[in-house]
Amino acid sequence: MTNIPTDQDNDLSSGQIGPVQTPPANAAEILYPDDQPKPEGETAEPEQQSTAKEESTDAGDYKLTMPDGVPLDQELMGKAAPVLKEIGLNNDQASRLVPLVTEVQQRVVMALDDDFTALKTDWAREAKSDPKLGGARWNETMRLADSAMTAGGAPKGSEFRALLDESGLGNHPAFIRVFRALGEQLSRRPGAAVPPRSRSEILYPDD
């Protein structure tokens, strides 16, 4: 006949274990189940992981390859990166904008060069039309200005004259006026070597 186990038979001292009783949950577990600590090894929810990854994106995440000879403007990139991130561009998509940016930069440089060339031309035209510098006096103006620069240690072919040509200042009426006046003062000094007139000045004094 089978014996019916009694409460005493379920005692731990007997070596037999009865049904396991689950301890009741406390109030915090019932009211705030999501705030309880996660078991070791369990990861965060996928949505939380995605949010953390987005927040870690900064200017350093964009590695753009620039054309040869075109440096990457780090300051500009620092300002552009948050905008690129906001509109959702990844590194590959942002890289597609590089050729357009480079083309815009080249067009800006070309426009500036054209404007500067036009400015130098305007300066030369203004100087040649000046009654005290140009017209019949233009060749004399060039001769006197040349003698002043040569006396000051800047003969033809010197670095100073090359700088004048590159900057366009050699065409500016104010610059020409100053060096013509210096040339006139040097020519008036006793014993000063007056630069000879050029052939064109002799043959065409009114030109």
Token pair for residue 164? 């004048």
Q: Please check whether residue 96 lies inside any domain of the structure.
A: yes
Range of the domain at 82: 73-120
Is the pTM for the entire model greater than 0.85? no
Where the chain has pLDDT below 70, the residues are 1-60, 190-207
Res 58: pLDDT: 42
Q: Please check whether residue 89 lies inside any domain of the structure.
A: yes
Give 23-52 pLDDT, tens digit per residue: 555 555 655 566 656 555 555 554 444 333
Q: Are 161 and 154 in contact (CB under 8 A)?
A: yes
Angle, helices 173-188 vs 98-129, to 10°: value is 40
Res 57: pLDDT: 35
Q: Please check whether residue 143 lies inside any domain of the structure.
A: yes
Give 104-129 pLDDT, tens digit per residue: 878 988 999 999 999 999 999 999 99
Res 121: pLDDT: 94
Residue labelled with tokens 């357009």: 100
Determine the Cα–Cα distance for residues 53 and 51; give it in Å rounded to an integer: 5
Res 118: pLDDT: 94
Determine the Cα–Cα distance for residues 165 and 59; give it in Å rounded to an integer: 42
Res 100: pLDDT: 81
Residues 84 and 134 in one domain: no
Residues 98 and 137 in one domain: no
Domains of the chain: total: 2
